[in-house]
Amino acid sequence: MKKASALIYALAGLLAGALLTLVVTYSLIPALSSRDAHEDSGTVSSSNAALTDAALETAEYFKSSDYEALAAIVHPDYGVVFSPFATVNLASNLSFTAKQVENFGESTEKLIWGVRSDSGEPISMTVGDYLANYVVDRDYTASPVITVNYTLRVGNSRENVTDIFPGAGFVDLCYPGTQESEYSDWSILRLVFEEYDGEIRLTAVIHSQATV
């Protein structure tokens, strides 16, 4: 009887430990966006200058890995969506809460961010690797061209930012490409903002570049 009781207690302990691990792990896992396409959470009425300032500030936070400051401007309700391509898909793109963004520097787990357009292989990367390849692949704080609510360069991916985020404002931090490469080396960091309680909040980070 004593052996049976000891076994029950041991199993209970293991189950409790497993449950705790599951809860902790789940809290670190990004989710698909809780919002629906065509849902307008706050039309941006800010000036182009204010949006540009917000975009350059955001790019600086990414560049300096200041995730605490970055988290402070993430949309409180919807978090921030990351898309490796111009076409945003809320059913597959990862979304992170402000708290998760604050912990970006501690994340080591590989996540699936999308599918490569050239090979069809999943984009399996840690947060750090993804940011290096799709957010700070260039110094966007020094972008030679900046446009607001207008896209200078368009690739093979469908541009749907205005469909997914109606009422939002977006800023393209753009490297337009060089004449030597016939402008095929352009890239864009597109930062999407919505208003929340009268403040500009980051709601999406989109990467776009020339594709073959």
Token duo for residue 50: 């204010």
Residues 149-189 have pLDDT tens digits of: 998 887 778 899 999 999 899 999 999 989 898 888 999 99
Rounded Cα distance, 20 and 115, in Å: 32
> What does the pLDDT read at residue 39?
52
Q: Which residues pair with 200 in a beta bridge?
A: 195
Amino acid in the structure at residue 29:
I
Q: Which residues pair with 115 in a beta bridge?
A: 122
Residues 109-159 have pLDDT tens digits of: 999 998 887 777 899 999 999 999 999 999 999 999 999 999 888 777 889
Question: Which residue, among 140, 163, 164, 162, has the nearest Cα to 150 in the 3D structure?
Answer: 162
Residue 132 φ/ψ, nearest 5 degrees: -65, -35
Alpha helices in 29-47 (DSSP H): none
Residue 206 φ/ψ, nearest 5 degrees: -125, 135
Average pLDDT over residues 67-75: 98
Residues 6-45 have pLDDT tens digits of: 444 444 443 444 433 333 333 446 655 555 544 554 555 5
The domain made up of 33-209 is a member of CATH 3.10.450: yes
What's the start-to-end Cα distance of the chain, in Å?
71
Token duo for residue 118: 């050239």
Lookup result for tokens 């520097």 = 105
Rounded Cα distance, 67 and 58, in Å: 10
> What does the pLDDT read at residue 33?
52
Q: What residues does each domain of the chain span?
A: 1-31, 33-209
Burial label, 46 (beta-carbon count in 10 A; 0-12, 13-18, 19+): middle
Judge contact between 140 and 190, C-beta under 8 A.
Answer: no
